[in-house]
Chains A and B, each alone.
Chain A
Amino acid sequence: MANSENMIICRCEEVTYGQLRTTVDKHKCTARELKLRTRAGMGFCGGRTCRPTLDRVLDSFIPNFSPSEIPLKYQPPIRPVSFGRIGEIHD
Chain B
Amino acid sequence: MTRIIDHPVLGRLENRNVISFQFDGNSYQAYDGESIAAALLANGIRKLRVHEESGSPRGFYCNIGHCMECRVTVNDHSNVRACLTVVENDMIIQSGKQLPNLLKKGGQSNE
Contacts and interface: CB of A to CB of B under 8 A. Distances in A.
A37 B107 contact: yes
Given A14-B54, A80-B79, A49 B67 contact: yes
Contacts of B69: 11, 45
Nearest to B77: A82
Interface string A13-42: 111100110110011000000000111100
A39 B68 contact: no
Interface of B: 51, 53-54, 56, 58, 61-62, 65-69, 71, 79, 104, 106-107, 109
Interface residues of A, number: 22
Given A14-B51, A48-B66, A39 B61 contact: no
A65 interface: no
A27 B106 contact: no
A12 B62 CA distance: 13
Contacts of A38: 106-107
A41 B94 CA distance: 26
Interface in A31-78: 37-40, 44-45, 48-49
B107 A39 contact: yes
B55 to A, nearest CB: 11
B66 A45 contact: yes
